[in-house]
Amino acid sequence: MKLTLRVWRQKNADAEGAMSTYEVDGISSDMSFLEMLDTLNEELILEGEDPVAFDHDCREGICGACSLVINGDAHGPERTTTCQLHMRSFADGDTIDIEPWRASAFPVIKDLVVDRSALDRIIQAGGYITAPTGAAPEAHAAPVPKPDADFAFEHAECIGCGACVAACPNGAAMLFTSAKVNHLNVLPQGAPERETRVLDMVAQMDEEGFGGCTLTGECATACPKGIPLVSITGMNREWLRAVRKGKR
């Protein structure tokens, strides 16, 4: 496959960025999108140019490190992470636009790498439980109804990649925050902090400068793990419940 890539290049956080055009040849349709970028970078290094910086880690679709907005879609045209996107999703001769996540809470560090530590601070604000840790507890000690366990697991699938923020026209982190809130709030282990968790995490989300939700549904469409839009409805319900209980 021969491709034309238009890639966002930005030297550092303060520099002005722009799209640069590159041609790559000899791409196999079995390569992942990141392997295609590795090929480009090898050529750039041989030519003595600065390789394109992009985030990646496990390359198995489970760590949430890879990002990239590909042709206007967070993680590209398939419902998966960029590392699990394969070049067979593109045609020979295609022009592909590659941009970083865009949100003021995600400042660009270099090229396609953005600082997503705002999501870590939302987790720190309440995305944990105070149950004692150590050896695994007796499984029957805290019974969890099967539907609740399934619900919690569905939301626990969130890998915190930030595709929801990147796709949202308001740069909102509602889907991410709601996944974390719903995951823990439905379980008995998360019950002691049920109210403070949602209040603190939403407050931190606002403080980080994320936008608000206008229910466009772009986040749920982009989510590689299929966190549903109704997850946000669930967080709103938890938040209103906590406010009514007068926990703030």
- Give least dist CB 213 to another protein, A: 7
- Give the residues lining the site for another protein (CB under 8 A): 6, 8, 19, 69, 71-73, 97, 99, 102-105, 168-172, 199, 202-203, 205-206, 209-218, 221, 228-230, 232-241, 243, 246, 248
In angstroms, the CA 75 to CA 166 distance is: 10
Residues 6 or more apart whose Cβ sits within 8 Å of residue 91: 1
Between the alpha carbon of residue 79 and those of residues 70, 75, 225, 235, the distances in Å are 12, 8, 8, 24
Nearer to another protein, 133 or 226 (CB): 226
- Give least dist CB 79 to another protein, A: 14
- Give least dist CB 3 to another protein, A: 15
- Give least dist CB 206 to another protein, A: 5
Nearer to another protein, 161 or 199 (CB): 199
**H helices present in the chain, as ranges:** 33-46, 117-126, 146-156, 163-167, 174-185, 194-207, 218-222, 230-244
Nearer to another protein, 58 or 149 (CB): 149
DSSP assignment of 46-110 equals HTTPPPPP---S-SSSSS-----EETTEET-SSSS-GGG-BGGGS-TT-EEEEE----TTS-EEE
Nearer to another protein, 14 or 60 (CB): 14
Nearer to another protein, 48 or 93 (CB): 93
- Give least dist CB 81 to another protein, A: 19
In angstroms, the CA 68 to CA 97 distance is: 10
